[in-house]
Amino acid sequence: MTADADTVARTSADAMWAEDGASRGMGMSLDAVGPGRAVLSMTVRADMVNGLGLCHGGYIFSLADSAMAFASNSHGQAAVAQHCGVTFIRPGRAGERLTAEATERGRHGRQGIYDVRVTGEDGTPVAEFRGHTVTMGKRPA
Amino acid sequence: MTADADTVARTSADAMWAEDGASRGMGMSLDAVGPGRAVLSMTVRADMVNGLGLCHGGYIFSLADSAMAFASNSHGQAAVAQHCGVTFIRPGRAGERLTAEATERGRHGRQGIYDVRVTGEDGTPVAEFRGHTVTMGKRPA
Amino acid sequence: MTADADTVARTSADAMWAEDGASRGMGMSLDAVGPGRAVLSMTVRADMVNGLGLCHGGYIFSLADSAMAFASNSHGQAAVAQHCGVTFIRPGRAGERLTAEATERGRHGRQGIYDVRVTGEDGTPVAEFRGHTVTMGKRPA
Amino acid sequence: MTADADTVARTSADAMWAEDGASRGMGMSLDAVGPGRAVLSMTVRADMVNGLGLCHGGYIFSLADSAMAFASNSHGQAAVAQHCGVTFIRPGRAGERLTAEATERGRHGRQGIYDVRVTGEDGTPVAEFRGHTVTMGKRPA
């Protein structure tokens, strides 16, 4: 991991972030990015929960999916999600800040495999996500 | 499938829908529900897309996840998602109406397996989802 | 589904079967094949079980994987497994004949999605499998 | 990780190994075991390959599944596989020694999540596996 790789990751993330109105609209922040790695966080809003104050699983998935997107585009080539699996461990709660950390398990040709752990404010796991990406032969954006 | 089973499905769905502010907030509509089955639809809004007008995968997952929730709660017992896998086939587009149809593949003790196909306005598949649920020993809500 | 499609499926299956010493070695039989579909069965042998007489999950997976292989190669183009998920429902037992029926959920470009249900002698489900394949640009063999 | 935890892992593994005729029958060896961790290896035999000398995916899955079994039973409670996903990266070849290393991603109540990487003799990845287990309320065997 060279300074160059870090710069590519940062530049790719900036280009993506500018275009990614959906992640911004969910209130996500991009907390860290590097080669094959990204950390995003998001607060569970009132419009994201059911009557019991529990976060819809789709928003937890969204946070993990966005974290994978930044990690998988960090090498300067556009990559998209192909197959993703998520295991829900405990609910996210209204007002809770969730953090997703994506790490690269491996890249094999055009394929990439990413693990994302979503944790709550107390640091306990909310969900475990594994996603598969494929590169598109162009720059991130 | 008796009239009673249909009534239980409808009653469970009504109770869930009243509480599910998150699905309503994403603009979903509950188009059909029956024993082990549910159809939901949602229009891809401007706040759900990136700069290219392509829907964030998390919203596609959310629609499928909600469809599974209604299908898996249709028997009158509360069930929650445990492990879900989704395969993205083509992007959803800004303004496009997406439909998710959930069908029950089987129930085995407290476990349930559900298949959800998300299709676009032209009827072509946007995503294929398979989810696993576990019942909680109480009524849906 | 035309007679031609059936002939292609049969010809592809014959070519694969001749080469597939591993499936034959596990004692599998190819019971039916058609466009996007295959049925294989296998008896759980003494060398496939643990001390309690329960079949190793790997052999159940193998039967499902072979069924997918025949279904996904049935169109006359070689396809290989990429990502597979399996849910174990009940154990297979020593001496029990297991049957795997693979059906095609969809083909999208080079990608295919297949569902395989493995059932026991009493017809109850032993496992549910969903697999993803990719075509290789050559004939099955 | 105390000496006690190591002893429990070793004792559980010995009890399992004595009963696991299927893994032994595939020629697996148990190379290492500890709390939440196991390493197994296996040579791809002539009866495990197709006419091109490529290992049946089911045997690769079997090796990973066995590694998860030893890792998930290492805490002294019997655990069984529930849902497993595997991604095939490159074929295993006739005569090649494959190694599977299982690590525990987390335990949550009765549920466990395990990652298993299968590598070839050259150290490159052959498959990535993620499995989910559930404990059974008795000792391993």
Chain segment D44-56, per-residue pLDDT in tens: 999 999 988 999 9
Q: Is residue B141 in a domain?
A: no
Are residues D125 and A108, on separate chains, in Cβ contact within 8 Å? yes
Cα distances (angstroms) measured from residue A71 to each of A13, A74, A132, B21, D117: 9, 5, 12, 31, 20
**Whole-number average pLDDT of chain B:** 95
Structure tokens at C67: 């069924």
CA dist., res. C73 & res. A25, Å (int): 44
Residue numbers of A between 53 and 82 with CB closer than 8 Å to C: none
Report the SS3 class of residue A78. Answer: coil
ipTM: 0.96
Average pLDDT of every residue of chain D:
95
Mean pLDDT, residues C31-40? 98
Residue in chain A lying closest to B128 (CA): A83
Of D89, D113, D115, the CB nearest to A108: D89
Interface test with D, best of A86, A87, A110, A134 (most D CBs within 10 A): A87
The C-alpha atoms of residue B127 and residue D25 are separated, in whole angstroms, by 40
Contact B132 D83 (CB under 8 A): yes
Residue D79 lies in a domain: yes
Count of structural domains within chain C: 1
D83's CB contacts (< 8 A; 6+ apart) are: B83, B132, C85, C86, C87, C88, D131, D132
Enclosing domain of residue A19: 3-135
Is C91 within the bounds of a domain?
Answer: yes
Residue D140 forms part of a structural domain: no
Contacts for D132 with CB less than 8 Å, ≥ 6 apart: A87, B83, D81, D82, D83, D84, D111, D112, D113, D114
Q: Is the pLDDT of residue C83 over 70?
A: yes
pLDDT level of residue A140 (50, 70, 90 thresholds): confident
Local confidence band at C3 (pLDDT 50, 70, 90 cut-offs): low
Q: Which of B25, B56, B85 sits opposite A85 (nearest CB)?
A: B85
C141 contacts D22? CB cut-off 8 A: no
Q: Examine residue B128 and state whether it is found in any structural domain, yes or no.
A: yes
Residue of D98, D65, D67, D21 whose CA lies nearest to C44: D21
Residues of D with Cβ-Cβ distance to A89 under 8 angstroms: 106, 108, 111
C93 in contact with B at a CB cutoff of 8 Å?
A: no
Distance from CA of C19 to the nearest CA of B (A): 31
Q: Which residue has the higher pLDDT, B67 or C51?
A: B67
pTM as predicted:
0.96
With bands split at pLDDT 50, 70 and 90, how would you rate the model's confidence at C137? confident
A21 within a domain of the structure (yes/no): yes
* Average pLDDT of the residues in D95-119: 98
Q: Which residues of B touch A84 (CB under 8 A)?
A: 57, 61, 85-86, 88
> Within a domain: residue B27?
yes
Is A140 part of any domain? no
Position B26 scores a pLDDT of 98
Domain of A128: which CATH number? Answer: 3.10.129.10
Distance (Å) from the C-alpha of residue D104 to the closest C-alpha of chain A?
12
